[in-house]
């Protein structure tokens, strides 16, 4: 043995530090679990006394207590659907282009940069854009159509990204098999690649719906803070206050005597919807994975 | 380069003249010339990395799907240059079918896998499709095994069945040439024997080019054998001659296992 | 064309008669087998589809430019005598270098909002960046499988919760709690609670990106370090974190972007006081540290939410608010370009 080499033994401090840091990491992770449970628990607990059929099916009040959130529920669903209908074709198209046509060069890098920038643009900035273009320049004022179009801007980068990623995950062998049979590029995309990528895209779509459902900044400035007095009102030209906007508005406006209760109930409804969407994603994921196996 | 000087009654289906293939700065194939006869099985052997799979993929231009490459020289099918401008690549691939190294069935039912090709070309009539599917599965010697479970997922089949399904899928669009890229490398000996029998039957009506790393297989199934080394064609001849009296020393060394 | 060796192939002589150009296009029909040809429509669709997909992509590119253009027409109106501008033309310095915000007295210094945004974002990052990176390394390299799954689900849920719900939680749970426990019932709105809420909102972004960063490191790094006898933590601290650093920085920058652009949640808890700098400086009732954390303040985004509905389009006030929006958008672009820089550093 070489006498110059000391005996390397783990020092006691290094062992202690290791044990300590393992503990710290576990603690941080568990803290987040606790925060989530506390959060969801508190929201549901506050909202629970308010949640009843009347609250969900009554029209809102403007000055008195006891109003419901029926039109806001409708507007939330309506706006999410409309915005998805607008953004899905665009997002799919752009995602397909990036995955299948753009190659590997500069064009792809530039497109990615644009998608990332749009995805990172704060929703308040999108709101300003929607306000300038749709609300003011087009003269559509605060309306469902202004809101749906601006909300679509929020969805497009997410759908594009999800489509691109899901398509890139399609095994090369399957694409080659399709081309080998004489399929055109378009046929390969629609008959082989998209069906294979459907799970990923569908999951992404549900998550996008969740984000659009919770969005408020955009809608305050484009769809407005009023709900139509008719129900159901499918017109695209009327203001369409959603649940999230309603939650914000009653809280900051403060004219309702029971603003607190309304806000708590609305928050609980939103959390329940999002939990349901989350569960839906898991179910879709699991059933499709089982079916293709 | 040596080309067989035997009397051959079958016409030349594919011909290659002075063909080179480069990927970026790298030359993968260089100075290749050969003729491939219709209704014959031509095997391509050589150590891995010699460019034999790449060569195969040039016949239906499938390499263009994933990479940006340059092919020079002349490759013809029935005397028509397949790299000529204005050639319909999609139609070329329909005529020149391919079976890949790893079975790659679509995650669909057995029936849908075979019907996929015909559907691409707008065949929708159910009875016509049924006929094509049965015919292709029979040609691929798979019909008896799967006729009662056509609706089941193809991904649940054994590897050998999957590969025969892929052959059936390729046959369903009525190709003239079948390229096989080490079709048995992922299969067990019994499944391999079935595929080899099948190759013997298919050559009645098809031109088959098979790449294999297994020399016994080349000896068993092929009429002609071409030996590739480092992107060049060393020797091509009747299979029995290649394996008994090769004219190039390097071929003999490879076949007798002295290198590669 | 045929040279000597070719001529020696008997079959070669047949080639002339066999090869017919027309064959390439003729269906090789056997009896009963349909001719497999793509319909005209199918071919046209294949040719034009590319353009359709390209159009979708170009729309996205156009949006980036469009947003910039429209925000600029309104935001720059504060500084340039553009058409339709009814407000006063301001100088850059009286907007960006002044802390004096008194729109009703025609003074438009937005420094309080810039400082507010930076302050609350910085504080949030101070919490979220270390917690996020450590959680990332925990998920990627330490947690057992069940915990990994649990953490993924927790992060998915945290990122999915709407900002207004975060806001109402802050307003009805955190603010009263902090006020009761530490401030003797004095109001608790200000940087501290806003930053705390923001930290929880951006942590999922940082966690998921840093988990990816750690998972994409070659396992040889980790194995090598541990084979030399380093403890789990030593391997993480001395090898894995330095190796993943460019991507961890990217994760932090993207978290920063999310935090600085968040509007509603912060607006609900920060107190919305544009005069916060003066208030923080002048009030003497609390220790400076507490004052810094719990003085009602305002940021670029909260001020937009607060005041945009109350201003007339084209007025000086309104123009300055759009200038703040433009600033936020430019900031986003700078941050995204910064992540590109960091990414390039990774490849080098």
pLDDT digits (tens, 9 = 90+) for C73-127: 999 989 988 776 777 889 999 999 999 999 989 899 999 999 999 999 999 999 9
From the CA of A21, how many Å to the nearest CA of chain C? 7
C193 and C72, same structural domain?
no
- Answer whether A54 touches B (CB < 8 Å): no
C52 with C126, same domain: the answer is no
- Find, among C228, C227, C270, C229, the residue nearest to C124 by Cα: C270
- Restricting to B residues 26-45, those with a Cβ less than 8 Å away from any Cβ of C are 33, 35, 37
Nearest CA-CA distance, residue C31 and chain B, Å: 11
**CA-based torsion, B217, B223, B228, B234: positive or negative:** positive
What CA–CA distance (Å, rounded) separates B13 from C18?
A: 9
* Nearest chain A CA: its distance from B89 CA (Å): 8
In a domain, C83, yes or no: no
| Same domain (yes/no): C65, C172 | no
The rounded percent of chain C whose pLDDT value lies above 90 is 61
The answer to whether position C217 is within a domain reads yes
Asked, for residue C268, whether it belongs to a domain, the answer is: yes
Cβ-Cβ contacts under 8 Å for C214 (sequence gap 6 or more): C136, C137, C139, C140, C141, C240, C244
- Same domain, yes or no: C143 and C276: yes
**Residue of A175, A182, A183 best to disrupt the B interface, most CBs of B under 10 A:** A182
Domains of chain B: 12-255 (3.40.50.300)
User: C163 and C57 in one domain?
Assistant: no
> Is C63 within 8 Å of A187 when comparing Cβ atoms?
no
Instruction: Give the model confidence (pLDDT) of A35-89 as tens digits.
Output: 999 999 999 999 999 998 889 988 988 888 888 899 999 999 999 999 999 999 9
Can you give the residue range of the structural domain that contains C184?
110-310
* Domain shared by C53 and C115, yes or no: no
With respect to residue C332, please indicate whether it lies within any of the assigned structural domains. no
C133 and C235 assigned to the same domain: yes
Q: Is C26 on the interface with B (CB under 8 A)?
A: no
Lowest-confidence pick of A115-124, B63-72, B239-248, C335-344:
B63-72
Query: Residues C337-341: what's their mean pLDDT?
Result: 90
Q: Say if C13 falls within a structural domain.
A: no
- What does the pLDDT read at residue A40? 96
The pLDDT mean for chain A works out to 91
In chain C, residues with a C-beta closer than 8 Å to the C-beta of A111 are 57, 60-61
pLDDT digits (tens, 9 = 90+) for A242-262: 999 999 999 988 788 888 999
In a structure prediction context, what are the per-residue pLDDT tens digits for chain B, which is 260 residues long?
445 556 678 899 999 999 998 887 788 898 899 999 999 999 999 988 888 888 999 998 888 776 667 788 889 999 899 988 778 888 899 999 999 998 999 988 999 999 999 998 888 899 999 999 999 999 999 999 999 999 999 988 999 999 999 999 999 999 999 999 999 988 899 999 999 999 999 999 999 999 998 889 999 999 999 999 988 999 999 999 999 999 999 999 898 887 65
Q: Token pair of A289, please? A: 């994975």
- 3-class DSSP state of C2: coil
Q: Per-residue pLDDT averaged across A85-111, rounded?
A: 93
* Touching subunits for chain B (3+ Cβ pairs under 8 A): A, C
The answer to whether the CB of A244 falls within 8 A of the CB of C268 is no
> Do residue C59 and residue C203 come from a single domain?
no
pLDDT of residue C122: 96
CA distance to partner chain B, nearest, from residue C1 (Å): 10
Q: How far apart are CA A277 and CA B3, in angstroms?
A: 67
Which of A282-291, C26-35, C312-321 shows the lowest per-residue confidence on average (mean pLDDT)?
C26-35
Query: Among the residues of A101-215, which ranges form H helices?
Result: 106-120, 123-130, 144-168, 172-180, 185-187, 194-214
Least CB–CB distance from A244: residue in C52, C162, C267: C162
Instruction: Kindly state whether residues C56 and C135 are assigned to the same domain.
Output: no
Q: Which of C165, C234, C267, C272 to mutate to test the interface with A (most CBs of A within 10 A)?
A: C165
CB contact under 8 Å between A180 and B62, yes or no, is yes
C303 vs A233: CA distance, rounded Å: 33
Q: How many domains does chain C have?
A: 2
Given C21, C54, C77, the domain boundary residue is C77
C-beta atoms surrounding B145 within 10 Å: 16
Is C297's pLDDT higher than 90?
yes
Q: Do the chains contact at B123 and C32, CB–CB below 8 Å?
A: no
User: How far, in Å, CA of B190 to CA of B160, rounded?
Assistant: 8
Q: Please report whether residue C266 resides in a domain.
A: yes
Q: What is the reported pLDDT for C16? A: 34
At residue A5, the pLDDT reads 67
Task: State residue A291's pLDDT score.
Answer: 60
CB within 8 Å: A94 and C264: no
8 Å CB contact between B34 and B15: yes
Contact A282, C152 (CB under 8 A): no
Q: What is the pLDDT of residue C286?
A: 76
- For residue C19, being part of any structural domain is answered with no
Q: Are A268 and A50 in contact (CB under 8 A)?
A: yes
Locate the chain B residue with the closest alpha carbon to A182. B94
In the prediction, which pLDDT does C334 show? 95
Are residues C152 and C289 located together in one domain of the fold?
Answer: yes
End-to-end CA distance of chain B: 20
Residues of chain C contacting residue B130, judged by C-beta atoms under 8 Å apart: none
Which of C22, C54, C77 is the C-terminal boundary of a domain?
C77
Q: What is the least distance, in Å, from the CA of B93 to any CA of chain A?
A: 5
Q: Is the four-CA dihedral C329, C331, C334, C335 of positive or negative sign?
A: negative
Distance between B256 CA and the closest CA of chain A, angstroms: 34
- For residue B66, the model assigns a pLDDT of 63
Q: List the one residue out of C10, B141, C68 whose CA is nearest residue A129.
A: C68
CATH code (residue C190): 1.10.3720.10
- Cross-chain residue pair B100–A187, CB shorter than 8 Å: no
**Residue A150 near residue A127, CB atoms below 8 Å:** yes
B124 touches chain A (CB under 8 A): no
- Among the partner-chain residues B79, B131, B132, the one whose CB lies closest to the CB of C15 is B79
How many Cα neighbours within 13 Å face the side chain of C107?
A: 12
Q: Supply the mean pLDDT for chain B.
A: 89
Tokens, residue C173: 């749970």
Spatial separation of the C-alpha atoms in residues A216 and A223, rounded to whole Å: 10
Burial class (CB in 10 A: 0-12, 13-18, 19+), C92: exposed
Q: CA of C162: which chain A residue's CA is closest? A: A214
pLDDT value at residue A229: 85
Phi and psi angles of residue C319, each rounded to the nearest 5 degrees, phi first: -60, -40
**How far is residue C289 CA from its own chain's centroid?**
31
Are residues C162 and C49 part of one domain?
no
CA dihedral C137, C142, C146, C151 (to 10 degrees): -20
Residue B148 phi, psi dihedral angles, 5° rounding: -90, -5
Q: Is C329 contained in some domain?
A: no
- Touching subunits of C (3+ CB pairs, under 8 Å) are A, B
Considering C27, C62, C77, which residue would you say is the last residue of a domain?
A: C77
The answer on C206 and C72 residing in a single domain is no
On whether any CB of chain B is under 8 Å from the CB of A182, the answer is yes
């Amino acid at each position: 043995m070489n006498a110059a080499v000391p005996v390397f033994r783990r020092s006691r401090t290094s062992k202690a530090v290791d044990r300590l840091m393992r503990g710290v990491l576990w603690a941080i992770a568990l803290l987040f679990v606790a925060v989530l449970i506390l959060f969801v628990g508190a929201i549901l607990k506050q909202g629970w006394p308010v949640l009843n059929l009347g609250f969900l099916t009554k029209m809102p009040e403007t000055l008195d207590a006891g109003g419901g959130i029926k039109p806001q529920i409708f507007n939330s669903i309506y706006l999410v659907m409309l915005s998805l209908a607008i953004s899905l074709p665009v997002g799919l198209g752009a995602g397909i282009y990036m995955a299948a046509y753009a190659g590997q060069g500069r064009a792809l890098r530039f497109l990615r940069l644009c998608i990332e920038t749009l995805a990172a643009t704060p929703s308040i900035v999108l709101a300003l854009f929607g306000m300038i273009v749709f609300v003011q320049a087009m003269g559509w004022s605060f309306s469902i159509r202004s809101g749906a179009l601006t909300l679509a801007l929020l969805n497009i980068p997410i759908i594009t990204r999800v489509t691109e990623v899901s398509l890139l995950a399609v095994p090369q062998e399957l694409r080659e098999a399709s081309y080998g049979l004489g399929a055109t590029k378009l046929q390969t995309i629609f008959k082989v690649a998209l069906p294979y990528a459907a799970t990923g895209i569908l999951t992404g779509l549900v998550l996008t719906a969740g984000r659009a459902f919770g969005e408020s900044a955009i809608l305050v400035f484009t769809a407005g803070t009023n709900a139509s007095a008719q129900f159901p009102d499918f017109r695209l030209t009327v203001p369409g206050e959603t649940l999230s906007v309603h939650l914000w508005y009653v809280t900051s406006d403060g004219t309702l005597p029971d603003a607190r209760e309304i806000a708590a109930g609305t928050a609980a409804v939103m959390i329940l919807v999002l939990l349901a969407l989350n569960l839906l994603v898991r179910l879709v994921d699991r059933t499709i994975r089982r079916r293709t196996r | 380069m040596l080309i067989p000087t035997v009397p051959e009654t079958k016409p030349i289906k594919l011909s290659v003249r002075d063909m080179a293939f480069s990927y970026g700065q790298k030359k993968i194939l260089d100075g290749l010339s050969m003729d491939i006869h219709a209704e014959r099985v031509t095997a391509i052997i050589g150590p891995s990395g010699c460019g034999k799979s790449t060569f195969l993929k040039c016949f239906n231009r499938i390499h263009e799907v994933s990479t940006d490459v340059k092919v020079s020289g002349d490759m013809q099918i029935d005397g028509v240059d397949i790299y000529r401008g204005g050639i319909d690549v999609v139609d070329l691939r329909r005529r020149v079918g391919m079976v890949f190294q790893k079975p790659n069935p679509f995650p669909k039912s057995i029936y849908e896998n075979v019907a996929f090709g015909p559907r691409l070309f707008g065949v929708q009539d159910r009875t016509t499709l049924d006929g094509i599917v049965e015919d292709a599965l029979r040609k691929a010697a798979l019909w008896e095994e799967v006729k009662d479970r056509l609706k089941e997922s193809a991904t649940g089949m054994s590897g050998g069945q999957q590969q025969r399904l892929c052959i059936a899928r390729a046959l369903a669009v009525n190709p003239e040439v079948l390229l096989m890229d080490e079709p048995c490398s992922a299969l067990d000996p019994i499944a391999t024997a079935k595929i080899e029998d099948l190759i013997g039957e298919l050559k009645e009506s098809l031109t088959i080019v098979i790449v294999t790393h297994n020399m016994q297989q080349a000896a068993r199934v092929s009429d002609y054998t071409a030996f590739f080394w480092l992107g060049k064609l060393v020797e091509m001849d009747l299979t029995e001659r290649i394996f008994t009296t090769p004219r190039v020393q390097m071929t003999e060394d490879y076949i007798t296992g002295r290198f590669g | 064309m045929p040279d000597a060796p070719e001529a020696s192939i008997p079959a070669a002589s047949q080639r002339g008669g066999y090869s017919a150009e027309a064959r390439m296009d003729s269906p090789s029909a056997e009896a009963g087998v349909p001719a497999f040809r793509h319909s005209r429509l199918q071919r046209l669709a294949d040719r034009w589809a590319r353009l359709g997909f390209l159009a979708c992509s170009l729309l996205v590119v156009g949006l980036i430019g469009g947003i910039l253009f429209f925000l600029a027409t309104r935001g720059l109106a504060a500084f340039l005598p553009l058409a339709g501008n009814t407000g006063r033309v301001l100088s850059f310095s009286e907007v960006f270098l002044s802390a004096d915000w008194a729109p009703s007295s025609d003074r438009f210094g937005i420094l309080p909002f810039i400082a507010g945004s930076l302050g609350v974002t910085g504080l949030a990052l101070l919490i979220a960046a270390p917690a996020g990176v450590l959680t990332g390394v925990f998920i990627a390299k330490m947690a057992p499988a069940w915990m990994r799954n649990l953490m993924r689900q927790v992060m998915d849920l945290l990122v999915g919760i709407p900002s207004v719900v975060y806001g109402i939680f802050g307003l009805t749970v955190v603010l009263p709690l902090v006020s009761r426990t530490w401030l003797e019932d004095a109001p608790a709105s200000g940087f501290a609670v806003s930053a705390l809420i923001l930290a929880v909102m951006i942590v999922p972004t940082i966690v998921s990106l840093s988990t990816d960063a750690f998972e994409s490191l070659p396992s040889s790094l980790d194995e090598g370090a541990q084979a030399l006898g380093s403890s789990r933590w030593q391997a993480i601290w001395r090898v894995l974190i330095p190796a993943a650093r460019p991507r961890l920085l990217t994760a932090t920058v993207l978290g920063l972007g999310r935090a600085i652009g968040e509007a509603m949640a912060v607006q609900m808890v920060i107190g919305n006081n544009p005069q916060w700098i003066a208030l923080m400086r002048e009030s003497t009732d609390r220790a400076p540290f507490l004052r810094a954390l719990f003085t009602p303040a305002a940021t670029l985004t909260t001020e937009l939410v607060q005041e945009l509905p109350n201003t007339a389009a084209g007025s000086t006030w309104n123009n300055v608010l759009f200038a703040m929006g433009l600033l936020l958008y430019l900031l986003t672009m700078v941050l995204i370009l910064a992540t590109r820089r960091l990414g390039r550093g990774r490849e080098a």
